[in-house]
Amino acid sequence: MDTQAYLLQLGQAAKRSGFALANLGVIAKNRLLGRIGTELQLAFDDILAANGKDVAAARASGLGEAMIDRLLLNEDRLKGIIADIDNVISLADPIGEEFDSRLLDNGMRLCRRRVPLGVIGVIYEARPNVTVEIAVLALKTGNAVILRGGKETRESNIALAAAIRRALASEGLPEDCVQLIDNPDRALVSGLLKLDKFVDMIVPRGGQGLQRLCAEQATIPVILGGIGICHLYLDKDADTNRAADVIINAKVQRPTVCNALDTLLIHQDKLGWLPKLAQSLQEKGVKLVACEQSRKQLDGAGIASEAASDESFGTEWLSLTLGVKVVSDIDEAIAHIRHYSSGHSEAILTDNLAAATHFMNEVNSAAVYLNASTRFTDGGQFGLGAEVAVSTQKLHARGPMGLEALTTYKWLGIGDYTCR
Amino acid sequence: MDTQAYLLQLGQAAKRSGFALANLGVIAKNRLLGRIGTELQLAFDDILAANGKDVAAARASGLGEAMIDRLLLNEDRLKGIIADIDNVISLADPIGEEFDSRLLDNGMRLCRRRVPLGVIGVIYEARPNVTVEIAVLALKTGNAVILRGGKETRESNIALAAAIRRALASEGLPEDCVQLIDNPDRALVSGLLKLDKFVDMIVPRGGQGLQRLCAEQATIPVILGGIGICHLYLDKDADTNRAADVIINAKVQRPTVCNALDTLLIHQDKLGWLPKLAQSLQEKGVKLVACEQSRKQLDGAGIASEAASDESFGTEWLSLTLGVKVVSDIDEAIAHIRHYSSGHSEAILTDNLAAATHFMNEVNSAAVYLNASTRFTDGGQFGLGAEVAVSTQKLHARGPMGLEALTTYKWLGIGDYTCR
């Protein structure tokens, strides 16, 4: 079958399957999720064997150990993936709620009803856990899903998707509620991004390159996200005795993720404290990339650093590197954030109420913190129970996306043969 | 200045101006809107003179009278445009509301605050009223706006935008809160659609061609909408004595707009009633494009019709033409709608509760009506007080978009030097 014919069939099957899911009640959907857990359990050894093939192929092709660790499934990890399904089962189902109901002057009753989006396309990297996680979240909200995982986890994804599809079939639902594009041809990604007749939303879960590809090629609405150039501004009225822990937490607790701290903006009055902080950071393995003024201070205390640049301030480090910049006041900090931020997460540390208010008002990222670590921007931490992605755009959903981000609403109008 | 440099300057100025609007309170914003009304009043004669030039140029270039009527401003229309500003002043301001506030286990207070989107780009056809309407709605919600109107109303738009910008200046706000692209070069539209560093949302207000252009070229989230292939299903249990008025209303009351009826799906048991309905429709000037089975019935009663086709059922008529198709049951009607609908508005006429429930559940367009005309899909009718556009996509906003659709939210987290 040629690419276009394959994509057409894929889209049609997804749309048709979405209609079959749209009006399922929560008990039926939870039973389905439970069945997925059972099927994954039944296929436990097959899935690990399939993953073993992926790992062997990755090793043979010279992939680094960090990458191999990302795609590796072992008994514990697969058990964890299955256990996480129970968490999604326990979440409230947003579908079906009616809200904003009103009686119009002409006697018509009008309301909005929360409904599934329909079909969601998810493009992601070599993380087999995402295959199950996204399928389960999509099904919980009555959506069909088209999955396109990294080619390095092809065998694992085939085994996982097959188990999920068996669960669908055994519940009397169309298997095509969950479809996996297992052909590594890149043309299929471009084609998927243009299936606007059938797919309602694209979620790219991956790096800057994938995000740009989707923004540029998609004719379907895309949720961009997951890129965090995050800032923390240490105000002149911050309590430095307490601030160090927060800065270290934001940078060090998990440096490879999007909500980790990238740039520390430090008020010039606090410059004298910088060496002490820098020492604590360096003890944790943090490398500093600092502006001229802060380097002078660090040099004076014998602390090594590299020179920051316009480019370095626009970098998401995803590692134990921290940009440092001295600012003369809070407005310089805000201006820096507006210029360099990716709109993910920013924080101010201060005991001054006016500074706190000003920062919270003027900084317009998805999450803005007062006296807290940027590391909190996370669906689990926010109590959403699940996280589809972290959106850094402003439409539809912003910041951590829970189940509701996989829904829309329709307007229902009930008249009595009512004319305008 | 070359195109890229112009666009960069345009985007930067818009973004900067958006920040100046973001934290204005409702009194300041309403005062600004009032000032816009005053400035339009002061420039009343200049605006009409500018519009006169547009009309003369349109006549000279051989534009049709319908098109000229669309771009024409006269005293009454301009007075109406100014009066509509008072309506927007009277609307509640959604900005600043905090919602979903909660206390997390770690002691952090978390909430969402409603904030402006930032910068909105609107591309529209030769309707000078849109220039004022969109600027006023954007400013009411604290957004900067970039306007690109049809070239046939260039002079009118320049005069209108100048008055709006004078109002901004006299309130001490950046004039660039409202910018007009008055150069008719098409490359500027393509360029605007890719200004994703500065523009947060694109709203195309125009026909299918403009919508597709935006979907295909934009790297900015686009709100598609305003294309309505609308269906009304006459069920076997409809009260035909009352149904005729609704069908005629849906088709005839204003046939040139997106929520007008395009296709009547008629249950086969009601086929005998079709000639009577058709006669009433023809008295109103409606032309019928009918399926084979319904044509036979119409022929038998001596009523003229044309043959429908797959293509005609996929057409938004925007005129006094109505597609007619006989269906054997409600599910055939639903299947037809799912295939041909643009997701705008659909209706069922029935006195049967099971049929009503089934239709409202299974049809997934932006607005679904029971015993009411499709003509109700409208911001004013829905009580939203204003209408930015009618969205037919599922993300962010669906159906008539009021002020809230021009907003987003940010998460605010308030800790006490809280670490994860």
Q: Which one of B349, B383, B419 has the shortest CB-CB distance to A246?
A: B419
Q: How confident is the model at residue B112 (pLDDT cuts 50, 70, 90)?
A: very high
Q: Which residues of A touch B245 (CB under 8 A)?
A: 417, 419
Task: Please report, rounded to a whole number, the percentage of residues in chain B having pLDDT higher than 90.
Answer: 96
Residue B386 has pLDDT above 90, yes or no: no
Provide the 8-state DSSP code for B259.
Answer: T
pLDDT digits (tens, 9 = 90+) for B207-261: 999 999 999 999 999 999 989 999 999 999 999 999 999 999 999 999 999 999 9
Residue A290 has pLDDT above 90, yes or no: yes
Collapse the DSSP code of A108 into the 3-class scheme (helix H, G, I; strand E, B; otherwise coil) and give the result: coil
Over residues B343-350, mean pLDDT = 98
Q: Are B350 and B237 in contact (CB under 8 A)?
A: yes
pLDDT digits (tens, 9 = 90+) for B270-289: 999 999 999 999 999 999 99
pLDDT digits (tens, 9 = 90+) for A331-365: 999 999 999 999 999 999 999 999 999 999 999 99
Q: In the Cβ-directed half-sphere of B354, how many Cα atoms lie within 13 Å?
A: 5
Over residues B101-106, mean pLDDT = 94
pLDDT digits (tens, 9 = 90+) for A140-154: 999 999 999 999 999
Contact across the interface for A408 and B395, Cβ inside 8 Å: yes
Q: Which one of A117, A216, A413 has the shortest CB-CB distance to B376?
A: A413
Token pair of B7 as six digits:
């666009």
Q: Which one of A372, A383, A415 has the shortest CB-CB distance to B371?
A: A415
DSSP-derived secondary structure for B342-392: -SSEEEEE-S-HHHHHHHHHH--SSEEEEEE-GGG-STTTTT-S--S-EE-
Residue burial A299-330, b: 16+ Cβ < 10 Å; e: rest: eeeebebeebeeebbebbbeebbbbbbbbeeb
Contact across the interface for B369 and A413, Cβ inside 8 Å: yes
pLDDT digits (tens, 9 = 90+) for A43-93: 999 999 999 999 999 999 999 988 899 999 999 999 999 999 999 999 999
Q: Which residue in B has a C-alpha nearest to residue A112's C-alpha?
A: B367
Cα distance between residue B192 and residue B220, in whole Å: 9
Residue A1 has pLDDT above 80, yes or no: no
C-alpha closest to that of B119 among B211, B34, B18: B18
Provide the 8-state DSSP code for B302.
Answer: T
Task: Please report, rounded to a whole number, the percentage of residues in chain A having pLDDT higher than 90.
Answer: 96
Contact status of A118 with chain B (Cβ, < 8 Å): yes
Contact across the interface for A249 and B420, Cβ inside 8 Å: yes
Average pLDDT score over chain A: 96
Token pair 């709620």 in the structure block, residue: A97
Over residues B163-178, mean pLDDT = 98
Q: Are A232 and A374 in contact (CB under 8 A)?
A: yes
Q: Which one of A201, A245, A383 has the shortest CB-CB distance to B419?
A: A245
pLDDT digits (tens, 9 = 90+) for B127-162: 999 999 999 999 999 999 999 999 999 999 999 999
Side by side, the strands of the sheet bearing B201-205 are B178-180, B144-148, B119-124, B201-205
Q: Are B63 and B152 in contact (CB under 8 A)?
A: yes
Collapse the DSSP code of A418 into the 3-class scheme (helix H, G, I; strand E, B; otherwise coil) and give the result: strand
- Residue ranges and CATH numbers for the domains of chain B are 3-223+401-414 (3.40.605.10), 230-378 (3.40.309.10)
C-alpha closest to that of A197 among B347, B412, B215: B215
Residue A168 has pLDDT above 80, yes or no: yes
What pLDDT was estimated at residue B375? 97
The two beta strands, B407-418 and B109-116, are antiparallel
What pLDDT was estimated at residue B402? 93
Over residues B372-400, mean pLDDT = 94
Distances (CA, A) of A117 to A114, A121, A403, B416: 9, 11, 11, 38
Q: Which residues of B touch A360 (CB under 8 A)?
A: 412
Over residues A3-11, mean pLDDT = 96
pLDDT digits (tens, 9 = 90+) for A182-239: 999 999 999 999 999 999 999 999 999 999 999 999 999 999 998 999 999 999 999 9
Write down the H helix ranges in A94-239.
Answer: 128-140, 154-170, 187-192, 208-217
What pLDDT was estimated at residue A96? 97
Contact status of A381 with chain B (Cβ, < 8 Å): yes
Residue B385 has pLDDT above 90, yes or no: no
Cα distance between residue B79 and residue B83, in whole Å: 6
Q: How many CB atoms lie within 10 A of CB A358?
A: 18
Q: How confident is the model at residue A386 (pLDDT cuts 50, 70, 90)?
A: confident
Average pLDDT score over chain B: 96
Token pair of A408 as six digits:
């829309």
